[in-house]
């Protein structure tokens, strides 16, 4: 079984994340692993508006969050 078979890939839009506060909106590709751990990769996009950063989301995905207990800087989660 490859790593791709053991993870869920999703895209998260942040507004001024703590590690990149100089950027208004940030889109990151992240992976939830079967063992519960999270990994992040180099796929990242910066933009001044949420509309601009949404253009980096691959076609065919659906927005599923954020959830009530997410960090307030998380604005959208796409799978």
Cβ-in-10-Å burial (0-12, 13-18, 19+) of 48 comes to: exposed
Mean pLDDT of 7-22: 92
Helix (H) or strand (E) holding 53: helix 50-54
Report the residue count for the chain: 79
**pLDDT band at residue 11 using 50, 70 and 90 as cut-offs:** very high
Q: Which domain holds residue 7?
A: 3-78
Say what the pTM is. 0.85
Cα dist. 14→3, 4, 34, 61, 71 in Å?
26, 24, 24, 17, 9
Number of domains within the chain: 1
**pLDDT band at residue 1 using 50, 70 and 90 as cut-offs:** very low
Q: What backbone torsions phi and psi does residue 4 show, to the nearest 5 degrees?
A: -65, -30
Instruction: Tell me what pLDDT residue 75 has.
Output: 96
Instruction: Tell me what pLDDT residue 42 has.
Output: 75
């Amino acid at each position: 079984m490859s790593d791709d078979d053991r993870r869920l890939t999703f895209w998260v839009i942040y507004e001024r994340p703590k590690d990149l506060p100089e950027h208004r909106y940030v889109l990151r590709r992240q992976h939830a692993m079967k063992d519960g751990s999270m990994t992040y990769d180099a796929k990242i996009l910066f933009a001044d508006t949420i509309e601009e950063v949404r253009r980096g989301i691959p076609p065919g995905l659906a927005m599923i969050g954020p959830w009530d207990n997410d960090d307030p800087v998380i604005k959208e989660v796409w799978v």
